[in-house]
Amino acid sequence: MSFFRGIAALSKLRSRVDLRSELEDLIPEQQVLGGMRGMIGLLWETSLLDPEEGIRFRGLSIPECQKLLPAAKPGGEPLPEGLLWLLITGKVPSKEQADALSAELRSRASVPDHVYRAIDALPINAHPMTQFSTGVMALQVQSEFQKAYEKGIHKSKFWEPTYEDCLNVIARVPVVAAYVYRRIYKNGQVIPLHDSLDYGGNFAHMLGFEDPQMLELMRLYVTIHSDHEGGNVSAHTGHLVASALSDPYLSFAAALNGLAGPLHGLANQEVLLWIKKVVEECGENITTEQLKDYVWKTLNSGKVVPGYGHGVLRKTDPRYTCQREFALKHLPDDPLFQMVSKLYEVVPPILQQLGKVKNPWPNVDAHSGVLLNHYGYFYNKILTWTNFYYDRYYTVLFGVSRSLGICSQLIWDRALGLPLERPKSVTMDWLENYCKKAAA
Ligand code: CMX
């Protein structure tokens, strides 16, 4: 079947409502033509996503994590290393255990020079995610799993070098990510790792920021973005690639490339650019009616409203809610935060009006950029040598956070001896024949 016949047959199939319902009985239509929505096909120990309630990390909701996980200071935001402990072991650590893990990660954080040289070989205006993913690929030469595999390690022991690699990946990615940031936006003036700060605090420090509130925000940011069960593009990609016994560096770099898509992790960049465009075109004092018109203008031009909707969630994302609470506490008067709040009132009814959007509520990405922007992480400045914004860096922050969830699960993948993934695919002809038989 030629490509064009395939496309024609696809539209025919999609428009045949009766055929779709026939298919749903036998092969749920979503599985084959709809991106496998809702299909159970993966084991993911570290977290579970409830469509109404949102994410639970090893059974704990985000508010429970904020209450139970150790913090840098009493009543503060959770330490990401506390969450990492929880994801790997299923247990809430004490403050001493979280601090010990902080020290362990710092001791593993050295990055060899060739990694920086690999990144430097890219044009400086390469997307920050491209530079980040390249850095992670270059780190791969240090894989313990690969070395052990080449020496003939028994499969019952695969998890051991995987564990070493995973902790090393988690420890090293903030260093690589901070290098990319300093290279692009700060003339390559690198700030070394602090010898006593925690994971989130250290990452903010290496980026060049010391405001204690910003360090708290980074701890919260890394914690809530770490994991979102296994079916999202980045987590699933990491897991799939690792199922071929590719080591954690290769698997995590692949996951990052999935995260870099605008329907997934790049949405946080898209949200801020979109909001800034609204302000640019209509001003900060935009009325509700003008905002509604702008949302319709976006939809009518064939674009999605970034930061709204979700493949699984059917309510406001609790990751959005906790960032909103942070903003209400620390930056209630920020004009962009106020715009985000206005959008929360305006966008859902419009998306509901469309009739096809399953979740009209905001997701995690609707909020994060505005918080980071407030603390001056990313100024809305057009750089002289190229025409792109600081906002392009946001997805790298998401990527650093995702190392915690994806790598924790990779340890369990190998400990449980999960097999190579190899789902079945079918052709359009196969589907047509199947439907004809089912209809008969
Ligand atoms: N704006 C406009 N249209 C939207 C929409 C939005 N925010 N969300 C969904 N839709 C549309 C879809 O494009 C789809 O339209 P078509 O049938 O014409 O293709 C229809 O509504 C049904 O989609 P859905 O079943 O509700 O959502 P999906 O599971 O297919 O897609 C997602 C989920 C996130 C890709 C989609 O909601 C979207 O594109 N949102 C905007 C981008 C975004 O914020 N992504 C970040 C998600 C969080 C993350 O992974 O990081």
All structural domains of the chain with their residue ranges: 2-36+423-439, 62-263+397-416, 267-391
The pair of three-digit structure tokens given for residue 27, joined into one six-digit string: 């092969």
Q: Ligand 1 within 6 A of 264 CB?
A: yes
User: From atom 34 of ligand 1, which residue's Cα is the shortest distance away?
Assistant: 310
Q: What percent of the chain has pLDDT over 70?
A: 90
> Out of 165, 227, 317, 365, which one is annotated catalytic?
365
Digit-coded pLDDT (tens) for 284-333: 889 999 999 999 999 999 999 999 999 999 999 999 999 999 999 999 99
211 in active site: no
Q: Tell me how far the alpha carbon of residue 32 lies from the centroid of ligand 1, in angstroms.
A: 18
CATH entry, 62-263+397-416, from 3.90.79.10, 1.10.580.10, 3.10.450.40, 3.30.1490.20 = 1.10.580.10
What pLDDT was estimated at residue 56?
98
Query: Which residues lie closer than 8 Å to 329 by C-beta, 6 or more apart?
Result: none
- Measuring CA to CA, which residue among 403, 40, 55, 431 is closest to residue 256? 403
Average pLDDT over residues 343-351: 97
Averaged pLDDT score across all residues of the chain:
90
Q: Tell me how far the alpha carbon of residue 285 lies from the centroid of ligand 1, in angstroms.
A: 28
What pLDDT was estimated at residue 375?
86
What pLDDT was estimated at residue 17?
41
Rounded-to-integer distance, Cα 135 and Cα 139, Å: 6
The pair of three-digit structure tokens given for residue 215, joined into one six-digit string: 């360090």
**Ligand 1 site-directed mutation target among 39, 357, 401, most atoms within 8 Å of CB:** 357
Edge-first strand order for the sheet with 47-50 is 47-50, 54-57, 60-61
Lowest mean pLDDT among 79-83, 282-286, 339-343, 410-414: 282-286
365 in active site: yes
Check whether 420 has a pLDDT greater than 60: yes
Q: Ligand 1 within 6 A of 309 CB?
A: yes
Average pLDDT over residues 31-49: 91
Instruction: Enter the CATH code of domain 267-391.
Output: 1.10.230.10
Digit-coded pLDDT (tens) for 204-246: 999 999 999 999 999 999 999 999 999 999 999 999 999 999 9
Rounded-to-integer distance, Cα 414 and Cα 411, Å: 6
Average pLDDT over residues 191-204: 97
* Integer Rg of the chain from CA: 23
- Give the H or E element holding residue 215: helix 212-225
* pLDDT band at residue 1 under the 50/70/90 scheme: very low
User: From atom 17 of ligand 1, which residue's Cα is the shortest distance away?
Assistant: 356
- Measuring CA to CA, which residue among 391, 437, 335 is closest to residue 129? 391
User: From atom 41 of ligand 1, which residue's Cα is the shortest distance away?
Assistant: 306
236 in active site: no
Q: Ligand 1 within 6 A of 267 CB?
A: yes
